[in-house]
Amino acid sequence: MITLQQAIEETKIAGNKAFVPYIMAGDGGLETLKPTILKLQQMGVTAIEVGIPFTDPVADGPTIEQAGERALAEGVTLRKVLEALASFKEEIRVPLVVMTYFNPVLAFGLEAFAKACVAGGVKGLIVPDVPLEESEILRDTLNPHGIDIIQLVSLTSPPARIERIAAASQGFVYAVTVNGITGARTSFANDLNDHFARLREASNIPVLAGFGISTPEQVVSMGALSDGVIVGSAIVTALHEDNLEKIEALVFASTSFSGCPNIR
Amino acid sequence: MANSIANSVPTKEGRYGKFGGQFVPETLMTALLELETAYDEAMNDQTFTEELEYYLQQYVGRETPLYFAENLTKELGGAKVYLKREDLNHTGAHKINNAIGQALLAKRMGKKKVVAETGAGQHGVATATACALLNLECVVFMGAEDIKRQQLNVFRMELLGTKVESVETGSKTLKDAVNAALRYWVTNVDDTHYILGSALGPHPFPKIVRDFQRVIGVETREQILAKEGCLPDAVVACIGGGSNAIGMFHPFVDDETVALYGVEAAGSGIETGKHAAAIAGGQLGVLHGAYMYLLQDENGFVQEAHSISAGLDYPGKGPEHCYLHDIGRVKFDSITDSEALEGLQLLCRTEGILPALESSHAIAYTAKLAKTMATDDIIVVCLSGRGDKDVHTVRKALGGDMS
């Protein structure tokens, strides 16, 4: 299985942009996790961000929060998600990135969590409430198991801080494109060009844009600034409404740069 | 002081021993770092500290009395009980000490807007008051359940020109109001300051709140020395997040002869699981930016707190309290809803003072403690707020007609 960074760089070589959908694990029942992941990889996504429901998701907007509440009502937990992933690990061909708040990881136990991630084929981890200052413990525990710790950079991060985060992040740098929480936006700030130019200059690894990207047009415009995009709320909504055409259109937009689909 | 415990925390990383820290989304990190710098500068600027002092005196009504509760002392038949009358502050509780301080800080930082969370509404009212005084735009997030229970405080905030936003997610109480306030802050961080109301949250909030509430303990120390010529043997305060308690305790932490007692809310009883006693019944975890004792299940999902007093109804304990507990400097104990109701009635009956349900936990604990001590021993209790806001709840709990 290839690493996260390799997967993103393959799309680059093909002249395209990475496309990473976010799903809320267990929204619609934990039994939907396998078919959802297999369907997404068939569509040609670069990697998949697997969200874990939490009682207090402070970085998320209403769409993902409500999906999380539905998953919590189904009894979904971090442990159950990792066990479910392990049950069909052989069929997973794209790198998986787990997105979870920190407290479920602490309750799991860092070392036990790392082992369960390995068993589930997880390649990367995003913990939105662990900023650079608190992130060392995650790298120390998970790096020995081959799991990347992905750090977020925001529009409010000053240049010197951007450099430090870009140097510390692994797999890719997650560039938050808005001041705010996850969820669809109709417009973005005007100075994103400079921000992304600075960020890509400071990074030796790919830079992916996320937060607020919900339409094929935004996939193209944000993709042009970066090495690829992460789409969350729009995917969560489309899966909830069983609207696969919408997801296909979003993935297709990321391949419009070369005109050729991403093959994996 | 060479071996001062009080001055040893927080570290520059915002740690109290292993507790505290800054577990927030990256978008807030720069705001927290800026806040820390602005706060340090302000506290070293005499103009700022004099302005704060002016408002605390002339507007809040400080200093508050340290009142010898002679009737209560006689009734209990043990140690002498003094009450630190934070209930006599403007807006009726200690919350205004911090709200004024942080609102002045917001203004100094050039922020035009303030966001805050509130449970029972006391911190919301205090913040709305400070914002009206200092001409800051204010939005307060409050859980939909709490809005139902505290209609009058909602109206009070609105009268003061504050926009009250109902929080309909999660358990619809204080913890969800903090989530919503944090989200609002992330989205509006450029022109907005978050006035956190308790000694909680990411660094530097626990330190800022502590420092603005320290006036309680500093005054108490001077007052008891003037009245009794010695320090108290025991100091008692109720603890939700822990703002009144840390303000009261901190100036006494290095006084080894002074026993410090933190009283958590035991709700229906620790054994029932329906309580708000994170130190007695919680595990280590991270919520709202800090590593602390937290009510949670085995999956790390945060559990709802339960207490008759909305101000203690929070699933975590401030990081400095967690630290003081771990090193054995503060003894934590808990008081149930029904014991708190008895404490409230006891103080009404003996002293003609209606304490807030939060403070009634400290009174009820003091009633037990005083009896175990000698008649020349001294206990100081932080009477953190007045109970007018709770009359409705108390009447219902005591079986009165609610129509």
Is B370 inside any structural domain?
Answer: yes
Kindly provide the b/e burial profile for residues A173-198, where b requires at least 16 CB atoms within 10 angstroms of the residue's own CB: bbbbbbbbbbbbbeebeeebeebbee
The reply to whether residue B186 touches residue A65, judged by beta carbons under 8 angstroms, is no
Instruction: Say if residue B41 is in the same domain as residue B178.
Output: yes
Asked whether residue B197 is domain-assigned, the answer is yes
Confidence of residue A256 (pLDDT cuts 50, 70, 90): confident
Residue B268 pLDDT: 97
Averaged pLDDT, A80-96: 97
* Residue span of the structural domain in which B297 resides: 61-92+213-397
Q: How confident is the model at residue A180 (pLDDT cuts 50, 70, 90)?
A: confident
Please tell me the predicted confidence (pLDDT) of residue A263: 55
How many distinct structural domains can be found in chain B? 2
CATH number at residue B100: 3.40.50.1100
Residue B39 lies inside a defined structural domain of this protein: yes
> Per-residue pLDDT tens for B361-391?
999 999 999 999 999 999 999 999 999 999 9
pLDDT digits (tens, 9 = 90+) for B173-199: 899 999 999 999 999 998 999 999 999
- Read off the pLDDT of residues B195-211 as tens digits, 9 standing for 90 and up: 999 999 999 999 999 99
DSSP A214-230: -SHHHHHHHHHHSSEEE
Q: Is B163 a catalytic residue?
A: no
Whether the Cβ atoms of residue A108 and residue B300 lie closer than 8 Å to each other: yes
Catalytic residues of A: 49, 60
Pairwise CA distance, residues B186 & A154, whole Å = 10
In this prediction, residue A129 has a pLDDT band, given cuts at 50, 70 and 90, of very high
CA A247 to chain centre: 15
- Nearest CA of chain B to the CA of A49: how many Å? 18
In a domain, B255, yes or no: yes
User: Same domain for B286 and B373?
Assistant: yes
Residue A262: predicted pLDDT = 61
Same domain flag for B191 and B252: no
**Nearest C-alpha of chain B: how many angstroms from A95?**
24
> What is the structure's pLDDT at A154?
94
| Whole-number pLDDT of residue B333 | 98
B384 noted as active-site residue: yes
Q: Show residues of chain A in contact with B25, CB under 8 Å.
A: 58-59, 128-129, 131, 152, 154
Contact criterion met (CB < 8 Å) for B300 and A130: no
B26 CB neighbours in chain A (<8 A) are 131-132, 151-154, 156-157, 165, 176
Structure tokens at A78: 């971090």
Distance (Å, whole) CA B280 – CA B307: 14
**What's the pLDDT at A184?**
79
In the chain, the amino acid numbered A136 is E
The residue among B18, B26, B115, B196 with the most chain A CBs within 10 A of its CB, best to mutate, is B26
Q: Chain B contacts of A131, Cβ < 8 Å?
A: 22-26, 29
Query: Considering only alpha carbons, which residue of chain A is nearest residue B297?
Result: A107
In this structure, the answer to whether residues B43 and B184 fall within a common structural domain is yes
State whether B166 and B251 are in the same domain. no
Q: Which of B165, B257, B216, B185 is nearest to B362 (CA)?
A: B216
Quick one: B142 and B220 in the same domain?
no
A contacts of B297 (beta carbons < 8 Å)? 107
Please give the residue of chain A at the shortest CA–CA distance from B27. A154
pTM of the model: 0.96
Residue at which a domain ends, from B146, B175, B205 = B205
Residues with Cβ within 8 Å of residue A113, at least 6 apart in sequence: A78, A82, A105, A141
Q: What is the pLDDT of residues B45-88, one digit of tens each?
A: 999 999 999 999 999 999 999 999 999 999 999 999 999 999 99
Return the number of other C-beta atoms located less than 10 Å from residue B344's C-beta: 27
Is the residue at B256 inside a domain?
Answer: yes
Asked if residue B101 has pLDDT above 50, the reply is: yes
Q: From chain B, which residues contact A within 8 Å (Cβ)?
A: 13, 21-31, 169-170, 175-176, 179, 182-183, 186-190, 283-289, 294, 296-302
CB contact under 8 A, A58 and B183: yes
* Residue contact B169–A103, C-beta within 8 A: no
A3: left (phi over 0), alpha (psi -120 to 50) or beta: beta
CA distance B70 to B82: 8
Percent of chain B with pLDDT over 70: 99
Which of B13, B26, B183 is the closest to A157 by Cβ?
B26
* CB–CB contact B25 A154 (8 Å): yes
Nearest-by-CA chain A residue for B298: A107
The average confidence (pLDDT) of chain B is 96
Distance (Å, whole) CA B200 – CA B312 = 13
Cβ-based neighbour number of residue B155 at 10 Å = 12
Question: Residue B180 and residue A17: Cα distance in Å, rounded?
Answer: 34
> Do B156 and B268 fall within a single domain?
no
B9 is a domain residue:
no
Q: What value does the mean pLDDT take over residues A72-100?
A: 97
- What pLDDT is stored for residue A69 in this prediction? 95
For B181, the closest chain A residue by CA position comes to: A58
The domain boundary residue, chosen from B186, B205, B224: B205
pLDDT tens, position by position, B307-343: 999 889 999 999 999 999 999 999 999 999 999 999 9
B197: closest CA of chain A, how far (Å) = 18
Same domain, B164 and B239: no
- Residue A25 tokens, joined: 């694990």
For A62, half-sphere exposure in the C-beta direction (CA atoms, 13 angstrom radius) is 6
The proportion of chain B whose per-residue pLDDT surpasses 90, expressed as a percent, equals 92
CA distances from B142 to A172, B184, B205, B297, B339 (A): 38, 13, 20, 24, 27
Flag whether B310 is in a domain. Answer: yes
Residue B403 has pLDDT above 50, yes or no: no
Please tell me whether the interface predicted TM-score (ipTM) of this complex is above 0.85.
Answer: yes
Mark whether B69 and B48 lie in a shared domain: no
Distance from CA of B81 to the nearest CA of A (A): 41
Question: Does one domain contain both B192 and B250?
Answer: no
* A:B CB pairs within 8 Å: 124
B190 and B256 share one domain: no
Q: How far is B333 from chain A (nearest CA, A)?
A: 25
Task: Please check whether residue B193 lies inside any domain of the structure.
Answer: yes
d(CA A99, CA A182): 13
Query: Which region among A191-200, A215-224, B51-60 has the lowest average model confidence (pLDDT)?
Result: A191-200
Q: What is chain A's Cα-based Rg?
A: 17
Same domain, yes or no: B121 and B195: yes
Domain final residue pick, B205, B237, B261: B205
Topology annotation, domain A4-254: TIM Barrel (3.20.20)
